Amino acid sequence: MKEIEILVNFDNTKEEILEKFEKYQFIKKTKLIDTYYLDKLRKNLKPMADLRLNEVFRIRETDQETEMTYKINHFKDDNGNTLMNMKQK
């Protein structure tokens, strides 16, 4: 499984954004439940000061399956540019 999550800020209102999405075809609605586990004994699984998580162990449940994933989040590149890149194992 590959997952890409892109976080961006919009200058538009919610209504303007929803209007732009009207030209796309709706495919399906899926129920998704993510349960994240923190471990006080492992530094890599503790939240950062701003509560972001660099590494995460989670259980993801959908209508069709349940998965265990370990993710490494990257919030900034080497130049300090903000990004969100998740690698799953």
Q: Where are the domains of the chain?
A: 14-88
CA-based end-to-end distance of the chain:
9
Q: Within 10 A of 20 (CB to CB), how many other CB atoms are there?
A: 10
- Separation CA 23–CA 10 (nearest Å): 18
Q: Which helix (H) or strand (E) holds 14?
A: helix 14-21
Residue-wise burial string across 35-60, b where 16 or more C-beta atoms lie within 10 A, e elsewhere: eeeeeeeeeebeeeeeeebebbbeeb
**What pLDDT does 5 receive?**
65
The percent of residues above 90 in pLDDT, for the chain, comes to 13
**What pLDDT does 66 receive?**
94
In degrees and rounded to multiples of 5, residue 49 shows phi and psi of -60, -35
pTM of the model: 0.55
Is a pLDDT exceeding 80 seen at residue 27?
Answer: yes
Q: Which residue has the higher pLDDT, 48 or 31?
A: 31
**What pLDDT does 89 receive?**
47
Is a pLDDT exceeding 90 seen at residue 17?
Answer: no
